[in-house]
Structure 1
């Protein structure tokens, strides 16, 4: 634990004390060191003993902790172009806010006590709101912040009430101790109500289709770092919470979850259809996240070995690929000052290397074999088919629309004729190639050994 804690504290200090001329280089280098050091957590077997009784790492949290550490450096790299033109105090505040957001996310993934998890779960909202409302590009960022605040608080009140009830009933909030206590209880009305209250906060965070309206607004208005962290790690807090609570709940609750699984699968289909109708690039990528997270919700509710493994793989691979797509969207936006797809077409003629990154990201996003997205989705689809044969119809149509919007994304942003208003686009910088490589290469590497994630 100290191997990560000390560099992380150093990084927080460096945001304020590093020399102004080397601020971005020093903080990015430190973030990369933390990411490389966190790789040792891939080898966790069982529960890793911790110096603190309130923090622990096991097989569920270790891949998500590594993902959080890994995405810190790319968020700093992606923000450098725009933020380096602002006053130094503002740059330092921006870097500090990003690091605080990643730190609270890390603590949420490592929390053993459910109340500590709740506090960290909610604490992530504060830096997220600051990033969106302070550094967002348009005036609608205040409305996006309001949506995020009220949707999150609505779900969190139910979770807090459930935790207080649980502590009153069982006398503990330790995840290590609560597993045995839960298994003794059957699916009574009181416990089913507790189960539903717990899941409301996580389903809003994922988000489940129907309570997803905050996500496209937040993505569209957030700066690049906000979009990358939202897609890469913050949505995974919801999946992590569902997996944690799912382990503690008796299998008799599975029948109660049937309507939620069916609704989640309908959400996958409807989100994929909505993606095919989007004209805004970031909005399309945001709706694709809703579609992918619907599969994770359904898989987490089924609670078979294949479904849990598929949910973990899909969460990690989606975190990398979705973050890469937002980086590519930002690359296009910085050169054209627009996110409208019809105004971005034909970019491949001027920026062929960027088009290659677009093609790889789009193919990975639509789960081309043998990508980690494909491995995760196939595991989920196999467990869904075993749960009910009728799910094949919904998932089959969803796959068709997922393929359609992924190809639409690539074709609309790269192919066709170059618009007449675009006369010159600056070439893609080495920094941007490194940024995209930090997303795509790990995703391709996980294809060789997906067992690292479960």
Structure 2
């Protein structure tokens, strides 16, 4: 991990001093880091005690790899006309530094520092490169929700340090931590808000709508996974308390997922629709994780990777259309298959991935999560069936509105999709289909 931190610091310094072609240099360095990470993926897990302490699970490895991949795509979306290009890249690199360390540390207190530290560059991305004046309100919502959950978490970390004299995650997982249900909810509140769970999700649509495209990509692909990763670690530390409260959280998440799926079908703003669909996917992820079943944990891990790629790709697709039509409304952006049929093929591929069609990773992850939930309680069968049906409905709703219908007369010659945008879309879709064979 040290070499990745050193490479990131070098990239930050070169960008800060405004060296020539610093954007291209950063893209090349991220590619090098990806190759190094993939080459050392299996060997670095138990290479030494230090490496074992840092890379404590396959989940953290996959999330670090996803962070590098998404940042590479975010850098590719930039160009020389981007406002304050240098500051934008510096913010992204600082965010990557926080995320890589958050996913790698094996200390609960250090994880809290990096967990909260990632909020600062995300806030700066929304405030600095957001689209409208409402971005200030969206940033305030995000800050208030995150800080409200972080205060109880900090109190509980202090309590753990006083009671057990350690904050090492490996040691804490081996202990039978005897706390009350109130203490458990104080521990997980920050992660449920970051996830976000239904009833704590109100900040997410606002943040997505006001964020720039690279802000929406990092929010959907990585920041939500930071909450699920933290919840995963806490659940393994307090397994008895997790099982005691699992039915309440599963019921609330699944019913909330059904409600938000129907809410997606009422939206005409495509970006809000995708934001709500993220909460629906996270409700299924949270439910399967609360079962503490091996299938549920594996399915949740796959869903983190699959949702990170598919949701980021959908936000990018909507932004490409928005740059041409200057509108996110589904009532205006319809009939585009008559104008850009090849790009609407990408729309079909990404939307089908979002609704878990074969051979994407989303399908395999949902099968495992459904199996885990049915093994936990057969009463959930009807809820799972309804949630899966509605999840496919809003993906078809988005695709059909964008592709079919009557083409607006004032949009006939305003679209020309360049090869770079096709490449970025394929960088989302190809891993979704190849990673399934790896798992």
| More off after superposition, 64-73 vs 246-255 | 246-255
What is the CA distance between 1:13 and its match in structure 2?
2.0
Aligned to 1:275: 264
* CA–CA distance in structure 1, aligned partners of residues 35 and 51 of structure 2: 23
Aligned to 2:427: 438
- Say yes or no: does 1:353 pair with 2:347: no
The answer (yes or no) to whether the contact 1:355–1:414 under 8 Å persists in 2 is yes
Aligned to 1:385: 374
Q: 1:298 aligns with which of 251, 276, 287?
A: 287
* CA–CA distance in structure 2, aligned partners of residues 16 and 302 of structure 1: 46
Aligned residues: 439
| Equivalent runs, 1:9-28 vs 2, <5 Å | 9-20=9-20, 22-28=21-27
- Say yes or no: does 1:142 pair with 2:136: yes
| More off after superposition, 211-220 vs 258-267 | 258-267
| Equivalent runs, 1:18-167 vs 2, <5 Å | 18-20=18-20, 22-40=21-39, 42-43=41-42, 49=48, 51=50, 55-80=54-79, 84-86=80-82, 90-167=84-161
| Equivalent runs, 1:240-251 vs 2, <5 Å | 240-251=229-240
Normalised TM-score (structure 2): 0.96
Which structure 1 residue ranges, 5 or more long, are not aligned? Answer: none
Over 3 Å counting, the alpha-carbon distance change for 1:410 and 1:8 in structure 2 is: same
Over 3 Å counting, the alpha-carbon distance change for 1:222 and 1:365 in structure 2 is: same
* CA–CA distance in structure 2, aligned partners of residues 422 and 121 of structure 1: 44
The answer (yes or no) to whether the contact 2:181–2:241 under 8 Å persists in 1 is no
The answer (yes or no) to whether the contact 2:91–2:125 under 8 Å persists in 1 is yes
What is the CA distance between 1:351 and its match in structure 2?
1.3
What is the CA distance between 1:44 and its match in structure 2?
5.9
What is the CA distance between 1:18 and its match in structure 2?
4.8
The alignment yields a C-alpha RMSD, in angstroms, of 1.8
Give per-residue Cα distances to partners, 1:163-198, cap 9 Å, x unaligned: 1111111110011211122x2x45xxx432221111
The answer (yes or no) to whether the contact 1:350–1:425 under 8 Å persists in 2 is no
What is the CA distance between 1:252 and its match in structure 2?
5.6
| Equivalent runs, 1:146-295 vs 2, <5 Å | 146-181=140-175, 183=176, 185-186=177-178, 190-251=179-240, 253-295=242-284
| Equivalent runs, 1:323-362 vs 2, <5 Å | 323-362=312-351
What is the CA distance between 1:448 and its match in structure 2?
1.9
What is the CA distance between 1:72 and its match in structure 2?
0.8
What is the CA distance between 1:54 and its match in structure 2?
7.1
Aligned to 2:304: 315
* CA–CA distance in structure 1, aligned partners of residues 259 and 78 of structure 2: 32
Normalised TM-score (structure 1): 0.93
What is the CA distance between 1:39 and its match in structure 2?
1.7
2:180 is paired with a residue of what secondary structure?
helix
The answer (yes or no) to whether the contact 1:269–1:395 under 8 Å persists in 2 is no
Give per-residue Cα distances to partners, 1:61-92, cap 9 Å, x unaligned: 11111101111110111232xxx2256xx210
What is the CA distance between 1:47 and its match in structure 2?
5.1
The answer (yes or no) to whether the contact 2:184–2:241 under 8 Å persists in 1 is no
| More off after superposition, 37-46 vs 194-203 | 37-46
* CA–CA distance in structure 2, aligned partners of residues 106 and 280 of structure 1: 33
What is the CA distance between 1:6 and its match in structure 2?
3.1
The answer (yes or no) to whether the contact 1:45–1:58 under 8 Å persists in 2 is no
The answer (yes or no) to whether the contact 2:44–2:51 under 8 Å persists in 1 is no
The answer (yes or no) to whether the contact 2:302–2:365 under 8 Å persists in 1 is yes
